[in-house]
Structure formats: structure tokens, C-alpha cells
Structure 1
Amino acid sequence: MTGRPDLSTPQVVTINSDADVVRVRQLVRTAAVAVSLSLVDQTKLVTAASELARNTLVYGGGGGAEVGVVDSGRRKGIRIVFSDEGPGIANLELALTDGYTSGGGLGLGLGGARRLVDEFEVQTGTGQGTRVTITKWARSM
């Protein structure tokens, strides 16, 4: 990624290495600044994105992240879709339990990432891969 990304269209990052996880974090930080998220909300979003990008790499065997600006008409935000074609999450309820981690990530787990964002959705099934969509909205001034 060179220079500033064009945030008028969603940006896609392939996640196949630790360096790609870093690229996702950098892109998310840039996008969060562009929509004027507070420093606290920037940190929350980047932390959640980092955890989910790492999960995509470690548990999904790699995949991608699509980072885009969304506009509700009243405020702007950042929506990120993480997707992989891995084994899926066998027990989503357990995976979303506070404090649950199967190791290797930041220790937040899906439940921790969910608490850091405003909207959180998981689509998964055994043998069907996983798709996690998160959104963080800028607060009204």
C-alpha cells in the first residue's frame, strides 16, 4: 500500500501472513482517522480489527478483509468484513463467550472484539468458512 488509500471505495487486503495483519491495522487506522473517529474509538476499532484479522489468518487459514466507509446520512463510520474459507466455527455460542479464547490471538476472542464495536455479525458453519462484519460509527459532535 503506497500513499493514502482511496477510501471512496472499499479497500481489500488479502490476509495470508503476519505482515498482512499489520497492513489491515494500518488501513483501519487510516480509515478511522478519515471519518473522524475519536482516538478512543480508533483504538477500539483497530484492536478489534487486529484480533479478527489474526483469527482469519490462524483459524481460517487466511482470507481477506474489506475496509470501507459507510454513511448513515447522520454520521459516518467504518465497516470491515473479514472472510475466510476455513473450517468455520463449530460452536459459535462458545466462541462468543466472554473470556473464551482458543489461544494465539490477543486473548480478546470474538466476544471481546464484539464489545469494541457498534455492530457485529458472524456468519459461519462447519466446513463453510466464516464471515465477520463489524462497524464502528463516529460519535455526534
Structure 2
Amino acid sequence: MKSTISKVDHYSAEILNRVGEGARVLGALRDSGVNLTALWAYPSKPGKAQLEMIPQSSPGFLKAAKKAGLKLSRKQTAFFVNGQDHPGAVAETLAKLSEAGINVGAVEAVCAGAGRYGAVIFLPQSDIRKASKALGIK
């Protein structure tokens, strides 16, 4: 069961951790026509939350994020993996990275329903080229 793996742009932004702030930011992105491949948010420090975003298209996202008042991190490269869900789906990709001697920084994975899964894999930026080769992508 082959998965599809692609490089994606990853941005972070810190927002206030208060009722409605996430809805405001995501509403502004929506109103600008931005679609996100992945998003997660979590408390980062007292009164603050961290948004982690993988936009489908960075140019439109950057403009919309600025309009929404987000101060974005510098762009990072991550890997988006998706395919038919099965036991060990993410383990297969992580094994390829391990065999190449690459230490994974973080993984976020979810069952997408209808027998599908998706995952975002974060690595040290210095390992992106090596990981691309190990995963068979350009």
C-alpha cells in the first residue's frame, strides 16, 4: 500500500490564547481563500498559543497571514504523507528515515476517515535533502 509523500511549507505563529482568537485567525484566512493542508494549535506559554500551519499555497497564505496580523516564523520544510490507512503506515516512512540515519523531530498523524490517513513529519532543516533522497522525492 503505497503512500504519497511530498515536501510542504510549514509556518508557525504565536497568537493570544483567548476565546475566539483561533476562530478570528482561521476566519481571516478562509475569507482570503486560503486552504490549509494541516493545522494544529496548542498552548505555548501563559496567555499564548502556537499555531502550526501547512498551507496548500504559500504565496496566498503569506499575504492573508499578514492581513490577519500574524507574525510568521521563517518558512520550514516538512514532509506530508498520505495514503490508505493500514497498520504501520507511518512506521514505514519513519523506517526509511531511520535507515538513512535521520532523527525525526516530530510527527503529527491522523486517520482521515474513509480508510485514509495523513501525517506531517518534521526534521532538522539540515536533513531535508538527505530525507528527500531516502524517501524517493525531489
Give the TM-score of the pair, scaled to structure 2.
0.30
Choose 1 or 2 for highest CA Rg. 2
Higher strand share: 2
